[in-house]
Amino acid sequence: MAKIFCIANQKGGVGKTTTAINLAAGLAKLGQRVLMIDLDPQGNATMGSGIDKRKLALTVYDVLLESATIAEAIVKSDKLVQSGCSYDILGANRELAGAEIELVEVTRREKRLKLALAQVDTEYDFVLIDCPPSLSMLTLNGLCCAHGVIVPMQCEYFALEGLTDLVNTIKQVHANLNKDLQIIGLLRVMFDPRITLQQQVSEQLKEHFSDKVFNTVIPRNVRLAEAPSYGLPGVVFDPSAKGAQAFVNFAQEMVERVKTMNHKPAQP
Ligand code: ADP
Ligand code: MG
């Protein structure tokens, strides 16, 4: 059965999508079977995986509204298949913004994605969910089916602001809807070691959250930012770049983390 992870942080522009697509590619590179789900109506993870969101016949929206099965809506990217480092994609586009309102009417609305995933989760080792920058019904659907949350964050002065809201939401979901859910870890991204403040915040994170902070640090790297315009994750676009290598290391760390997760009782 797949291990399911949400990449979440209600702040925008903190590196969620970059983490989702590069972790997916990194895991694929290590031979893991991966499904990447785009839960953001902006569809950046879809585009960044080489899928044109405007041409998608079926998306995660259809799955949530049950007008298609998950198997029908999952696609592969030709570019990724050609690269030999491929993962499956359940894409999103702006249509998904309407799901928030349409789901209000339906029963068990926060469990729609969970029910759908149950149909395919034996086919994957990892499912990664790229969440929108909000604690909305879409994010809730992600949190309800996940075993863990990966929180990308920049080591800046306000980094911890907002983390409290996310942690409280995760605690509530853990208590009421999903006993398996835990924060797997905080991932330091866009890191620039030359900036003293970033080093200080990074140290503070380690002190406060100890083993909840991933060992891998993702550096600020322009190749990671350029890659999506070619419809590729940085890991595939320029495997030799520092950022790409860091994400492969992170994928390795996740593979190790999953092994220990199976032995520990879940805690938020
Ligand atoms: P989010 O999904 O949280 O909104 P993104 O992953 O889209 O954040 O990242 C925001 C911006 O920062 C994008 O332009 C992305 O290319 C860039 N970016 C993300 N991570 C890095 C990095 N490690 N180095 C350089 N640029 C990055
Ligand atoms: Mg995003």
Which ipTM did the prediction report? 0.99
Give 265 Cα–ligand 2 centroid separation in angstroms: 30
| pLDDT of res. 17 | 98
Verify whether ligand 1 is closer than 6 Å to residue 193 (CB atom): no
Closest Cα to atom 14, ligand 1: which residue? 225
Q: What is the pLDDT along the chain (268 residues), one digit of tens a residue?
A: 999 999 999 999 999 999 999 999 999 999 999 999 999 999 999 999 999 999 999 999 999 999 999 999 999 999 999 999 999 999 999 999 999 889 888 888 999 999 999 999 999 999 999 999 998 999 999 999 999 999 999 998 777 777 888 899 999 999 999 999 999 999 999 999 999 999 999 999 999 898 999 999 999 999 999 999 999 999 999 999 999 999 999 999 999 999 988 665 555 5
Residues near 118 by beta carbon (within 8 Å), at least 6 away in sequence: none
- Which protein residue has the closest C-alpha to ligand 1 atom 27? 225
Task: For each of the domains in the chain, give its residue range(s) and CATH number, in order of start.
Answer: 3-260 (3.40.50.300)
Task: Please provide the DSSP assignment of the chain as one string.
Answer: --EEEEE--SSSSSSHHHHHHHHHHHHHHTT--EEEEE--TT-HHHHTTT--GGG-SS-HHHHHTTSS-HHHH-B--HHHHHHT---EEE---GGGGGHHHHGGGSTTGGGHHHHHHTTTGGG-SEEEEE--SS-SHHHHHHHHH-SEEEEEEE-STTTTTTHHHHHHHHHHHHHHT-TT-EEEEEEEEEE-TT-HHHHHHHHHHHHHHGGGEEEEEEEP-HHHHHGGGGTS-HHHH-TTSHHHHHHHHHHHHHHHHHHHHTTSPP--
| Ligand 1 atom closest to residue 152's alpha carbon, by position in its atom list | 3
- pLDDT for residue 163: 84
Question: Cα dihedral angle (21, 26, 32, 34), rounded to 10 degrees?
Answer: 0
The pair phi, psi for residue 130, each rounded to 5°, is: -85, 110
- 1 within 8 A of 119, measured Cβ to Cβ: no
pLDDT at residue number 263? 64
CA distance linking residue 45 with residue 37, whole number of Å? 8
> Which ligand has the shortest distance to the CA of 92?
2
- Give the pLDDT of residue 268: 56
* pLDDT attached to residue 267: 56
CA–CA distance, 45 with 88 (Å, rounded to integer): 12
Q: Is 229 in the pocket of ligand 1 (CB under 6 A)?
A: no
Structural tokens at position 153: 């964050």
Whether 28 contacts 34, CB under 8 Å:
yes
